[in-house]
């Protein structure tokens, strides 16, 4: 079984890297605007894609965490049911 904690860590690191890169692109766009240099549409598009990529990575990390929590709850419920004495001989 994959290490869920390591997966969560990796997803958050990727999201942070995307956010860091997006901040640098945003800063570049800002400086170019301040000094009156043209900024290509591709750079604006890349900036938007980085914002979306970071958001999607955080969503995936959250869903992965919730799914793992659900699986743990199911396993605990099954274990508790296995430990309960049979009722009416069943």
pLDDT in tens, 31-81: 999 999 999 999 999 999 999 999 999 999 888 877 766 566 556 666 666
Taking residues 3-18, report their average pLDDT: 87
Q: By the 8 A CB rule, do 54 and 15 touch?
A: yes
Of 44, 45, 48, 52, the closest CA to residue 28 belongs to 44
CA distances from 72 to 27, 78, 84 (A): 43, 10, 19
Cα 34 to its chain centre, rounded Å, is 33
Q: Bigger pLDDT: 6 or 29?
A: 29
pLDDT at 20: 95
CA distances from 63 to 7, 11, 30, 52, 66 (A): 12, 11, 34, 16, 5
Query: Which residues are within 8 A (CB) of 4 and not within 5 positions of it... i.e. 6 or more apart?
Result: 64, 65, 68
pLDDT at 47: 95
pLDDT at 62: 86
pLDDT at 65: 76
* Residue 3 predicted with pLDDT over 80: no
pLDDT at 44: 95
């Amino acid at each position: 079984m994959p290490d869920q904690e390591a997966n969560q860590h990796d997803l958050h690191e990727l999201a942070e890297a995307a956010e860091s890169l997006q901040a640098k692109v945003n800063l570049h766009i800002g400086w170019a605007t301040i000094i009156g240099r043209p900024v290509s549409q591709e750079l604006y598009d890349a900036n938007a894609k980085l914002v979306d990529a970071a958001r999607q990575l955080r969503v995936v990390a959250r869903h992965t965490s919730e799914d793992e929590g659900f699986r743990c709850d199911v396993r605990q419920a099954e274990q508790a049911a296995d430990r309960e004495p049979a009722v009416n001989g069943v």
